[in-house]
Structure 1
Amino acid sequence: MASSKTILATLGLLLPAAAAGMVAIAAHRAPLAPPSPKALRIKAVPRLAPPPRTAQAPAPTTPPAASPSPYVVRRILDVPGVMKIGDTYWDEAGVPPGAIVITVDLDAQVLSIFRGGYEIGTAAILYGGDDKPTPLGIFPVTQKDADHVSNLYDAPMPYMMRLTNDGISIHGSEMEAGLMTHGCVGVPVDFARRLFRATRLGDKVIVTNGERLAIGRPITAA
């Protein structure tokens, strides 16, 4: 995110979640032991002339699939000043159709939605406290419910977009400095409505703790 979107230090009541890393695990296979040699007695037989070989056309080869183009940041909204809890901006004028990617930076306390690499909306967020931290990682949107009510806390979660099976989601929320969630990402209800309408099932949400994006840089996790 642009530094102009960094939340005022006075909002430091929201505790950042711990950073997380990713570990790649390679599969290893032990080599198979060679079979034990066996002495064989072979009766001599007259050799036969080999049959004539028939020329065969070479097997067709399939060219490797081209790598998909990286999802590159093409525009960041020009937000005046710094953002504070409750602030939102939305501008999709002239932005062509494209893939949707949502980024959440817990350190900056900001959510952004990109379409085809163009940032079309951004908002200051609430997120989970130390006892219920918001998880880091890449999550597809698996469920959408405009009128969802939490069955754990009996609380309304308007325009809910589920990220994990244990209930972590993005949803509309009351916005006030010092408030925290039970791990969800809370945004103003009007912004949540726009986010809900712009997003489809399967769209990716990338949650980080301090990653900054810049124009021309690829979102490699997308």
Structure 2
Amino acid sequence: MNILLIDDHAVVRRGLTMLLNAHPNMEVVGEASEGNEGIQKALEHKPDVVIMDLSMPHGKDGLSATSELKKLLPQCVILILTMHDDEEYLFRVIQAGASGCILKSAPHEELIAAIQSVYSGNAYLNPSATKRLMEEYLSNVKSGASDSYSLLSDREKEVLTLIAKGYSNKEIAEQLIISVKTVETHKGNVMEKLQMKTRPELVAYALKKGLLGYGI
């Protein structure tokens, strides 16, 4: 897979380049030190995965760059690299369209696993982040907060679960024995009812609901 690195620290980029290029299935095709430059490099190289630093003091920051890049290259997968172990950043990252978020302090093996996960169409959230998502969900349930999940039809719930598990529209259609167009219609209805705009948002929601068969 082709990877673009966007980070304002040259030493970090150099270290990541050495690490990723040493992997047999990964190649760093470009680097950038801030968001605007990163967007231009992404348009030039069309990478499979972008590893985006969240905090870049000069130029466009990671969140803004992620949001803009997803509009320009919707097929591009973005993994946020951050020092902030904070749920506020987690939700903002998901809303911006990133497929995952990993701490800069994470072991190299975890970074490789996160890249492979988002490249395969799945979302990646570190264990502490997923735990907080579940705690927030349980807190909302106890407080009686309204949940739009009840607005979904049984078929829409099935489609939501399969989307969260990383299946493509075609694969979902084959599993449910319906057309791809019907899958897209159900997906659109789910996003409208849940007031969400991106696939990562749906995945995070499904994780919070426990639809994947394991807790967060």
Q: TM-score range by the shorter chain?
A: under 0.3
State the TM-score, normalizing by the size of structure 1: 0.21
Q: Which has the higher helix share?
A: 2
Q: Which has the higher strand share?
A: 1
State the TM-score, normalizing by the size of structure 2: 0.22
